[in-house]
Amino acid sequence: MRHSLALIFVLLMLIACSTDKNLEDARSATEMYTQGMEHMKNGEYEKAIKSFEALQSHFPYGRYAQQAQLETAYAYFKQDETDSAYSTIDRFIKQYPNNVHVDYAYYLKGLINFNEELGLLGDITQPDMAELDARSARESFDAFKELLARFPDSKYAPDSRLRMQYLVNALARHETQIAAYYLRRGAYVAAASRANRVLSEFPQTWSARDALQIMVQAYDAMGMKDLGNDAQRVLNLNIAKDGLTPATRPSPQNKVRWWQFWK
């Protein structure tokens, strides 16, 4: 009987110690999260990242761990550390697909690679660098698209739709710029191929009309009259559909002037 009472006493002590430890851990996690959020509020993103990462390291299964990972991704985003932000938010989506804030995670994933400049609005001088910017734009588009497919009623859906519309037009314009770059340098096969990509991927954008004009010029330069006439006919049909005057082939003196507004 005496041994049983001693055993019960030991068990009670262990439970009490465990409860105290849990309470202490909870307080520590709360303090670390609060500290991180205070740094965020003050724009001290580097300090916020350290606080949130320490929290995740010490309390990976606590109630603050998932939110801390989201905040870490946002802090990286605000620091313009795109790679770290993207890998962090991508890991969050894979680890916590049923998190209540996963729609925000997709939205942030889109924002990370979304940039209104995107390197798509200036003159193309280095096509390889332009391709790199286009890759980011496509990743941004895909993230917004996934958000709308999974969470069409999300509060982030309306803004995502607007950003997708911008990205479609920017990507179409980007492809057309590169086609024009090739055309100016006499790379007619590459110009026609790039312009054709605009028609297949972005047929509803204004850039499709410019792409058709590039195809007309490229095929004419290569002596492919039938293909040039076909492109001209489609171009005229598209312009006439909008109630505009049908286009004519540009003369050798002004054949590149139509894209000069890009510069």
Q: What is the Cα–Cα distance from 211 to 224, expressed in whole angstroms? A: 17
Q: Strand, helix or coil at 92?
A: helix
Nearest to 217 by CA among 246, 190, 240, 183: 183
What is the per-residue pLDDT for 22?
47
Residue 213 backbone phi and psi in degrees, to 5 = -65, -40
What is the per-residue pLDDT for 102?
96
What is the per-residue pLDDT for 257?
35
Residue segments in the chain with a per-residue pLDDT below the cut of 50: 5, 9-12, 14-24, 119-122, 129, 250-263
Judge contact between 157 and 169, C-beta under 8 A: no
Q: Can you spell out the DSSP letters for 182-241?
A: HHHTT-HHHHHHHHHHHHHH-TTSTHHHHHHHHHHHHHHHTT-HHHHHHHHHHHHHHHHH
Q: How many H helices and E strands in the chain?
A: 10, 0
Determine the length of the chain.
263
What is the per-residue pLDDT for 191?
96
Q: What is the pLDDT of residues 72-119, one digit of tens each?
A: 999 999 999 999 999 999 999 999 999 999 999 999 999 999 876 554
Q: What is the pTM of this model?
A: 0.73
What is the per-residue pLDDT for 128?
55
